[in-house]
Amino acid sequence: MIDENELMLQVQNGQLESLALLFENNKVRLFNFFRRMGNAPEISEDLVQETFMRVLSYRSTFNGSASFRTWLYGIARNTSVDHYRKYKQSLDHEEFDDTTPDDKSSLCEQMVEQQSHSLFNKALASIPIELREILVLSRYSQLKYEEIALMVNCNLNTLKSRMTLAVSKLKESYNRLNGEELT
Amino acid sequence: MNAQDILAAKVAYLSGNAQTDLTPQMQQAVEKDDKLKTEIAFVEAFWQTNDSSAPEMPSSKLDARFYQMLAMAQAAQRNAINSDNDAKSTDGLLDRLKHWLMPKPALQFAMMAGIFSLGYFTKLPSGETTDVAMNNLQQQVQSLNSLVALSMINNQSASKRLTGISYTKQTDVSDQTLNNALLNMINHDKSTSVRLAALDALFSRGLNSKLELDLLNSVAEQNPLVQIEMVRLLIGFGSEVAQTKLKAAAKSGVLDADVKELLEQQIAAKSQLQSI
């Protein structure tokens, strides 16, 4: 098991090659974070690159008090917010592609799951970005409430309320999309 | 305990923020409330659907861009370390000289006056240490500019690539990585505007014979707009070899008819200027 905090401290002390391990360990997760935030694949790759540029530039600010992953997602979130602010006039949110079926379950089960997955992604893309990001960070990036609260700069109770609101908005959007699909 | 609390408790459990699932009392409340039951079923579906599917993978371009950026950062770091060492060795020498020249504080005033007079009469160049530090600083800034430029010219967005090209104007012109990156853009970028900007930037950095040859070899592959700019710059600022090779290219028919005409005009204008 790689100790990412230790690797980041190595980067901070000038061993820049350790950044390659951190990149390899996190690039797919981070790419999927940006994708789920509603960005096209090319833009998501740009944002991953930008995040690691910032990791390198701000390496002296990492103090190990929070985990590397929390710190990394904090930077990724700021990168995403900056991108959103800069391009909100012409934001090109892409519809998520359906995933390719695997051979783990029957074709029928896969199709039902795929359809549901696709609807969840569409619903997610349609809710406000502030609510979307906390759902993505919790559900897909598997960060704890404490970590997310630190990132979005609110207290734990506020975060819990926002999570409930986010789930409720997601359900509303899901039901609306599901109704549209059925009609 | 209301429905919101029960829903929040379920979400906390599913997201790994609570150790235990709903209590029996909460379960009973869910059973009695159809709306809450639907909401609980929805959050379960959201947290559990498609967990087994493979995550989407980024393209190999991301790796290439990251490792290019890392290599640049490592090169910048090496430059900074080398510059520091140079500065330290100069400082060490100055310290030794200072101790040797000023054994007692009482002599300091006389020594300062002496150095001042010596400097005044001989007009020796001063501030060499400052020059070294300034050079080091400039090198570091240039390395950072190169890093930013390289990162931006690899961006997916054409406007960012154009910004990256303008950054190259603030970098060391002998930086081969950047020169090659610009050449690569001239040959492969999907946007003609970016190709033209890269061509202009490469010429403003000064063209060596290898880069000139690489450009000449790519003339046939370019669209007429890029060919026109290449002809203008290569005839205007290139070597005799460039002129000969372009003439050969025109003869073999790889140049567009308009480009061929422009080439003839440029060559005629140049020889007219030379005869004056």
With an 8 Å Cβ cutoff, are B49 and A99 in contact?
Answer: no
Is residue A98 scored above 50 in pLDDT?
A: no
Task: Give the tens place of pLDDT for each residue, A9-63.
Answer: 999 998 999 999 999 999 999 999 999 888 899 999 999 999 999 998 889 899 8
Q: Is the dihedral of CA B132, B138, B141, B147 positive or negative?
A: negative
Is residue A99 scored above 50 in pLDDT?
A: no
HSE, CB side, 13 Å, CA atoms: give it for residue B44. 8
What residues in chain B have their Cβ under 8 A from chain A's Cβ atoms?
Answer: 4, 7-8, 11-12, 15-17, 39, 42-43, 45-47, 49-50, 52-59, 61-63, 65-67, 69-70, 73-74, 77, 151, 154-157, 160
**What residues in A contact B154, CB-CB < 8 Å?**
49
SS3 A166: helix
| Phi then psi dihedrals of residue B17, to 5 deg | -100, 0
Name the band, by pLDDT with cuts 50, 70 and 90, for residue A127. very high
**Residue in B12, B43, B156 closest to A45 by CB:** B156
HSE, CB side, 13 Å, CA atoms: give it for residue A63. 2
User: What whole-number distance in Å separates Cα of residue A68 and Cα of residue A7?
Assistant: 9
Helix, strand, coil tally for chain A in percent (to 5): 75, 0, 25
**What residues in B contact A46, CB-CB < 8 Å?**
155-157, 160
Shortest distance between the Cα of B6 and any Cα of chain A, in A, equals 10
Task: Give the tens place of pLDDT for each residue, A67-80.
Answer: 899 999 999 999 98
HSE, CB side, 13 Å, CA atoms: give it for residue B188. 8
Mutation site for B-interface testing, chosen from A47, A72, A167, A178 by largest number of B Cβ within 10 Å: A167
User: What whole-number distance in Å separates Cα of residue A127 and Cα of residue B39?
Assistant: 17
Q: Which residues contact A78 (CB under 8 A, 6 or more apart)?
A: A54
Q: Residue A95 has what pLDDT?
A: 42
What residues in chain A have their Cβ under 8 A from chain B's Cβ atoms?
Answer: 14, 16-17, 19-20, 23, 27-29, 31-32, 35, 41-46, 48-49, 52-53, 56, 99, 102, 104, 113-114, 116-117, 120, 138-139, 142, 144-145, 160, 163-164, 167-168, 170-171, 174
**What residues in A contact B11, CB-CB < 8 Å?**
163-164, 167
Look up residue B117 and give its two tokens.
């007079």
Mutation site for A-interface testing, chosen from B53, B61, B69 by largest number of A Cβ within 10 Å: B53
Tokens 């995040």 map to which residue?
Answer: A51
pLDDT more than 90, % of chain A: 50
pLDDT tens over chain B, length 276 residues: 788 889 889 899 988 898 888 999 999 899 988 888 988 998 888 887 655 556 789 998 899 889 888 888 887 777 767 766 665 655 555 555 455 444 555 555 555 565 555 555 555 455 566 677 777 777 777 777 777 788 888 887 888 888 888 888 877 777 888 888 888 889 888 888 889 899 888 888 887 888 888 888 888 888 888 888 888 888 887 778 888 888 888 888 888 888 888 888 888 887 777 676
pTM over 0.80: no
Look up residue B80 and give its two tokens.
């900074």
Shortest distance between the Cα of B56 and any Cα of chain A, in A, equals 6
With an 8 Å Cβ cutoff, are B61 and A46 in contact?
Answer: no
With an 8 Å Cβ cutoff, are B49 and A29 in contact?
Answer: no
More confident residue, A176 or A183: A176
Tokens 């054409």 map to which residue?
Answer: B158
As a whole number, mean pLDDT of residues A98-116 equals 50
What string of DSSP letters covers A65-109?
SS-HHHHHHHHHHHHHHHHHHHHGGG--PPPPPPPPP-SSS-HHH
As a whole number, mean pLDDT of residues A129-156 equals 91
Q: Residue A102 has what pLDDT?
A: 43
